[in-house]
Amino acid sequence: MKDKGADLVWFDGQYVKWEEAKVPIMIHALHYGTAVFEGIRAYSSDDNLYIFRLKEHLERLHKSASVYSFTTKFSADELCNATVELIRKNSIKESCYIRPLTFVGLHGIDLNVSKHSPTHTTIIIFPFAKYFKGDGISVCVSSWRRIDDESIPPMAKASGNYLNSVLATQECRRNGYDESILLDKNGCVSEASGENIFIVRNGKLHTPQLSDSILEGITRNTTIEIAEEMGYEVIERPISRTELYLAEEIFLTGTAAEIIAITKIDGHTVGNGKEGTVTRTIREYYENIVVGKTEKFMGWLTPTW
């Protein structure tokens, strides 16, 4: 996105013109990556614009900040209300992406960030449709390993963590792939550069466990819940690289990517080279949920109009 997404952003409790939302060049987050963020989707339906799992995302924003001992000055409920109001003030009725961000401000060059360090929180919105094009993508296993809890907490959605993902993405794109899969320090499958991963073997879903250096994804959690609702068994466990080549189906889950099939990995064709039956049924169920067509999961949706 090269142009502004909406006329207004929310910044520390105020609705500010996109062009006027500026910060000093000495903010701590710019120099040291001391920021946490979320990615949230809002989906246009026939009668409304629904934000998907808004509160869960904003609660995770607080949890991520707490890992690094800095403070998000606004409660999750306040940020939920601000998000809805920001959509209304921008008169947005099309599907869009929402980016809340909390970052450390003018703290100097001292690395001793604490709950007393100055922080700012902003919410940015812009129109958004599909992240990946088509019904399936090709991926490679990256030579870069996923960050590990012994060095950087992967369960915190911190801005600095994504330098790891930048390296993996650059590598895969140079080599002609759409996305990369990172292994953890033990050589087990962790996640993609911006998504969690599931494989299907013998009709069962398998996904890496939290100790495999993954982000505890909200779309991952959603997928587990709806897969079990549909009668699929979901197993969280370490997954070896070789299992990626033996899987009947593989798919990724994430806010931006939603649910997308992997049809090739390291040149190996997955299944028949098309989106598999399990992936398709879960994806279609998910797509109905986010636009309010599934009564049981309406509690995950926040209407804006």
The residues annotated as belonging to the active site are 157
Give the other-Cβ count within 10 Å of 210's Cβ. Answer: 13
Q: What are phi and psi of 268, to 5 degrees?
A: -85, 135
For residues 124 and 98, is the Cβ–Cβ distance under 8 A?
Answer: yes
For residues 62 and 76, is the Cβ–Cβ distance under 8 A?
Answer: yes
> Where does residue 281 rank: exposed (0-12), middle (13-18), buried (19+ CB within 10 A)?
middle
> Where does residue 111 rank: exposed (0-12), middle (13-18), buried (19+ CB within 10 A)?
exposed
Residue 250: both structure tokens together = 């593989």
Q: What are the C-alpha distances in Å from 250 to residues 108, 157, 198, 199, 247? A: 46, 24, 6, 4, 7
Distant-in-sequence, close-in-space partners of 240: CB < 8 Å, separation ≥ 6: 187, 188, 189
Residue 233: both structure tokens together = 């068994």
